[in-house]
Amino acid sequence: MATYGGFARVYDQFMEDIPYEKWGNYIQAIFKKHQYNPCSIAELGCGTGNMTEVMAQRGYEMIGIDLSEEMLMMAKEKAIQRNTDILYILQDIREFELYGTVDCILSVCDTMNYILKEDELRQVFQLVNTYLNPGGLFIFDMNTEYKYEHILGSHIFSDAKENMAYIWENNYDEEEQINEYAVNFFIQQEDSVLYERFEEIHYQKAYSIQKVSTFLSEVGLELVATYDAFTFQPPSKDSERIYFIAKEIQKQGRM
């Protein structure tokens, strides 16, 4: 599973258009729709803590887990600046451990698509079940195969800001259902007209709703709803992102 290296220091600038507050509203709307009022939430793949901060500011006891030390350093700096009490843990989500159970486990920004092997995705789900309180919710989103095939695959995107730019190339393997992201960043050096170039290569895998549902069921989680992202409409054939809502129904033995 890839980690963000050099990208960590410019991540927030490239993600500044992401409406995290609206995402927070949507997560809370999911809680309301499913008549659930959690106190403690663990976020898998929290990155620089943007979503973790949003939920912490709304009164939830937050834990953030990520594999990138650079990302977590930035997340901790935000927590200090905003005086939020968040526990950040440097761990691979395929092997994460918590000190106890939580009411909800959350994962956004297609973190689950970064799990490229089916047995490893099932392992993540097993750990989720282990650390969820009885009746707890597991909420996560995934990019769809449609998005990889028709929106991202074989397309090139670019963007430029005042002191940085990127070129983002995609290559989708339909047989393996894996999308390769190759992103070249050009970051202006401090007090210089020169730009530093660095490259990040990441991979994401598409999973069908049926396959995800099967994996969840195998570890004792029930898929109770799927939504076209940021709505409460069922997914359609051209949905680009799907939210999965799963519920803990039987406690498996701790691993």
More confident residue, 4 or 155: 155
Residue with the larger pLDDT of the pair 12 and 129 = 129
> Mapped to the 3 state alphabet, what secondary structure does 155-203 carry?
CEEEEEECCEEEEEEEEEECCCCEEEEEEEEEEECCCCCCEEEEEEEEE
Domains identified in the chain and CATH numbers: 6-143+208-248 (3.40.50.150), 147-205 (2.20.25.110)
Q: How many CB atoms lie within 10 A of CB 56?
A: 22
pLDDT at 250 over 80: no
What tens digit of pLDDT does each residue of 90-116 get? 999 999 999 999 999 999 999 999 999
- Per-residue pLDDT reduced to its tens digit, 36-46: 999 999 999 99
Longest dimension (CA), the chain: 59
**What pLDDT sits at residue 253?**
46
Q: Cβ neighbours of residue 76 under 8 Å, at least 6 residues apart?
A: 49, 88
Please give the residue that has the higher pLDDT: either 193 or 11: 193
Report helix, strand or coil for 60. coil
The structure tokens listed for 224 are 């109770």
Q: What is the pLDDT of residues 15-71, one digit of tens each?
A: 667 899 999 999 999 999 999 999 999 999 999 999 999 999 999 999 999 999 989
